[in-house]
Copies of this chain bind each other. A is one copy, B any other.
Amino acid sequence: MAIKAPFQLLMLLGIVFLASSVCVSSRRSDQDQDQENPFLFKSNRVQTLFKNENGHIHLLQRFDKRSKIFENLQNYRLLEYNSKPHTIFLPQHNDADFILAVLSGKAILTVLNPNDRNSFNLERGDTIKLPAGTIAYLANRDDKEDLRVLDLAIPVNRPGQVQSFLLSGSENQESFLSGFSKNILEASFNADYEEIERVLLEEHQKEPQHRRDLRDRRRQQGQEANLIVKVSRDQIQELSKNAKSSSKKSASSESEPFNLGNRDPIYSNKFGNFFEITPEKNPQLQDLDILVNAVEIKEGSLLLPHYNSRATIIVTAVEGKGEFELVGHRNENQQEQREEDEEEEEEGQERSGQVQRYRARLSPGDVFVIPAGHPVAVSASSNLYLVGFGINAENNERNFLAGEEDNVISQIHRPVKELAFPGSAQQVDRLLKNQKQSYFANAQPQQREEESQRKRGHISSIYGGF
């Protein structure tokens, strides 16, 4: 990665903070990044559902098991699918609705219906809903690049639990067809069981016991061999026939993919771009009440402090490095303990909780959650690319707390500014007008940087200064 000149020092200094990059201001107790910051899910908080030489599937820890503050996320799971060039994820269906977002690479997704099938060419930014129960398969059609797909799963049976039904049997797994008895299969296919077994099912019965034991052990370790398999260039060619691409014009199809970048960004300047598809804009997202967004923050830039009025956003860091700061209450995380012990008292904490900063460095694969109402800001130490799924998305508004446009603070009546802030209304207005940028800004404005470097000496960096 080419680190641009003014940030080289930052990157070097950044190393200092790797060990304790979550922190609070000096008058608050320090917190261990991953243990104590419940809004952060480092990339190791995943479980490998499947892994072989062709790819893997990771499932993020349940939000509601991590912390009680995510009770409202109990029926949402985040998965990441990763596969090598010229491979295919074999047909299956799940008891969950999926929202797929392609993070990188090139795919062909085929979706089966009782009477037809639809194939779609997907690339970075393409997003599509896969309704629960849909049989689908996904090929990496590129010659070189890995395919990475992020999935938000919303289970329809048990809250927070996804079950997959694999159509294909193989050495290490059974097709769900093999769950039916011989008699049902013979009557269903109007054929002898021997033929059905030979053509559709693997013949596990003939395996010696020790091999089946081995298979069971492997399965428990997520090492099933044949869920993601190699596929030839010719076979890819055949899948590509009639495959449609995401519409370049509209993001409003009932079933076709839409690209997050096809519409104009809702916020954009030289420091970053913010793309977002809301339920109001796309019918696929309406019944699930989900929004999807993609945010590019340029190296050395800042997504200005803001909060979402009603949506909770699950954000995945896809590329680049940076830092987020989220403002909550002091006892947000410990509250759950108290709740069980002394329920009456707990209620008293609701308003009296002091303001608390939750801060963490971001690396690719990290996930963080921004609950509704909680102010947040994100800075990039190298070009940062984030993809977010928003829950409870309808009528969500993003209120910015700084910047020239859409700054909700500037709307306050003058006398209330006087009463609310220590400065005079005039001072407040002058301060608010100092920032000429909107939405995104320079994370370390030049003039002040120089000045502050003089003042503070060697630790001046966007991660330092506390």
Contact = CB atoms under 8 A, between A and B. Distances in A.
Interface stretch (A98-106, A313-321, A423-431): A423-431
A112 to B, nearest CB: 5
A225 interface: no
A151 B402 CA distance: 30
Contacts of A248: none
A71 B159 contact: yes
Given A132-B373, A180-B325, A434-B191, A167 B409 contact: yes
A59 B203 CA distance: 44
A276 B200 CA distance: 31
Interface string A93-121: 11101000000000000101111110000
A373 B422 contact: no
B413 A117 contact: yes
A94 to B, nearest CB: 7
Interface string A29-64: 000000000000000000101100000010101100
By secondary structure, the A interface counts as mixed
Nearest to A157: B371
Contacts of A344: 47
B441 A190 contact: yes
Given A163-B350, A307-B133, A355 B95 contact: no
Interface residues of A, number: 170
A367 to B, nearest CB: 16
A309 B131 contact: yes
Given A95-B372, A354-B174, A397-B133, A167 B420 contact: yes
A396 B441 CA distance: 47
Interface stretch (A1-9, A141-149, A231-239): A231-239
A181 B466 contact: yes
A91 to B, nearest CB: 6
B176 A375 contact: yes
A413 B113 contact: no
Contacts of A232: 415
A190 to B, nearest CB: 4
Contacts of A168: 419-421
A375 B428 CA distance: 57
Given A192-B448, A200-B421, A399-B114, A353 B181 contact: no
B219 A187 contact: no
A421 B169 contact: yes
A11 interface: no
A195 B353 CA distance: 26
Contacts of A167: 409, 412, 420
9 contacts: A112-B408, A114-B411, A115-B405, A132-B372, A135-B399, A176-B327, A179-B355, A180-B327, A183-B463
